[in-house]
Amino acid sequence: MPYADLGRLRAEEAKTDAATIRAYQQRVYYDGAWRPEYGRWVPMLAGEYASEDGDIVRDAQARLSDMIQTQPVAAELPDLRAPLTLIIGQTDRTAFRGATAPVGIRPRTVPQAAEIAVHRVRNATLVRLPELGHSPQVEDPGRFLRILFETLAE
């Protein structure tokens, strides 16, 4: 992705509200399969942006994006020693700055990045959830917790 400075990132964050959050989550988190029970998460996040501390939230989100651009950690993955389990919904369409990517550039989605990362970490396991998206803990909490607890027990 081409570099975006903090001013541009803050301008992008300034457009965030409940409608944009819901549309984004519906499109990329849940692969277009919105269920009413997902709706409770939208006002929670939108409330952070709409609060009296909204400017702090937008600035923090912009700085997070800047950090991802300027301080990548991919080269450090082989240095991880602790066991790592990635539980990834395969219909997740989340991609860093994917909504603002220039025409012709397709950033990696979370499942694509996980496929690369699992091979770079010595003791890593990838649990692929084919029919779930970015928030498997929301879409199928029972299944997610079962996998999580089995992983922790190992």
- Identify the pLDDT of residue 20: 95
The domain of 142 spans 74-154
Distance of CA 141 to the CA centre of its chain: 17
Domain count, the chain: 2
Quote the pTM value: 0.86
**Domain boundary at 71, 92, 116, which?**
71
Q: What is the pLDDT along the chain (154 residues), one digit of tens a residue?
A: 789 999 999 999 999 999 999 999 999 999 888 999 999 999 999 999 999 999 999 999 999 999 999 998 889 999 999 999 999 999 999 998 887 777 888 889 999 999 999 999 999 999 999 999 999 999 999 999 999 999 999 8
User: How many other C-beta atoms can be found within 10 angstroms of the C-beta atom of residue 78?
Assistant: 11
If asked whether residues 80 and 154 sit together in one domain, one would say: yes
Per DSSP, the residues of 37-96 read GGGGHHHHHHHHHHSTTHHHHHHHHHHHHHHHHHS--GGGGGG--S-EEEEEETT---BT
**Domain boundary at 43, 71, 99, which?**
71
